[in-house]
Amino acid sequence: MHTVVVGTSGVTASDVLAVARGGARIELSEKAVAALAAARGIVDRLAAKPDPVYGVSTGFGALATRHISPELRAQLQRNIVRSHAAGMGPRVEREVVRALMFLRLKTVCSGHTGVRPEVARTMADVLNAGITPVVHEYGSLGCSGDLAPLSHCALTLLGEGDAEGPDGVVRPAGELLAEHGIAPVELREKEGLALLNGTDGMLGMLVMALADLDTLYKSADITAALSLEALLGTDKVLAPELHAIRPHPGQAAAAANMLAVLEGSELTGHHQDDAPRVQDAYSVRCAPQVAGAGRDTMAHARLVAERELASAVDNPVVLPDGRVESNGNFHGAPVAYVLDFLAIAAADLASIAERRTDRLLDKNRSHGLPPFLADDPGVDSGLMIAQYTQAALVSELKRLAVPASADSIPSSAMQEDHVSMGWSAARKLRTAVDNLTRVVAVELYAATRAVELREGLAPAPASRAVIEAARKAGVRGPGPDRFLAPDLAAADAFVRDGRLVAAAETVTGPLR
Amino acid identity at 93: E
Task: Quote the CA–CA distance of 230 and 44 in Å, as a whole number.
Answer: 70
Task: Quote the CA–CA distance of 235 and 266 in Å, as a whole number.
Answer: 11
Beta bridge partners of 67: 58
Task: Quote the CA–CA distance of 390 and 117 in Å, as a whole number.
Answer: 51
Task: Quote the CA–CA distance of 290 and 493 in Å, as a whole number.
Answer: 24
Terminal CA-to-CA distance of the chain, rounded, Å? 29
Query: HSE on the CB side for 77, CA within 13 Å?
Result: 24
CA quadruple 38, 114, 15, 349: dihedral, nearest 10:
-140
Task: Quote the CA–CA distance of 290 and 328 in Å, as a whole number.
Answer: 36
Rg for the chain (alpha carbons), in Å? 26
Helices then strands, each counted (H, E), the chain:
19, 9
DSSP string, 163-206: EE-TTS-EEEHHHHHHHTT-PPP---TTHHHHTS-SSHHHHHHH
Amino acid identity at 388: Y
Asked if 217 is an active-site residue, the reply is no
Task: Quote the CA–CA distance of 332 and 337 in Å, as a whole number.
Answer: 9
Burial tier of 13 (Cβ tally within 10 Å: 0-12, 13-18, 19+): middle
Length of the chain: 512
Pinpoint the alpha helices (H) of 26-93. 30-47, 73-84
* Nearest alpha-carbon partner for 18 in 103, 91, 93, 92: 103
Task: Quote the CA–CA distance of 81 and 71 in Å, as a whole number.
Answer: 18
Q: At 136, is the secondary structure helix, strand, or coil? A: strand
Q: Residues with Cβ < 8 Å from 256, sequence gap 6 or more?
A: 238, 240, 512
The active-site residue, picked from 54, 282, 337, 388, is: 54
Task: Quote the CA–CA distance of 118 and 397 in Å, as a whole number.
Answer: 44
Residues that are catalytic: 54
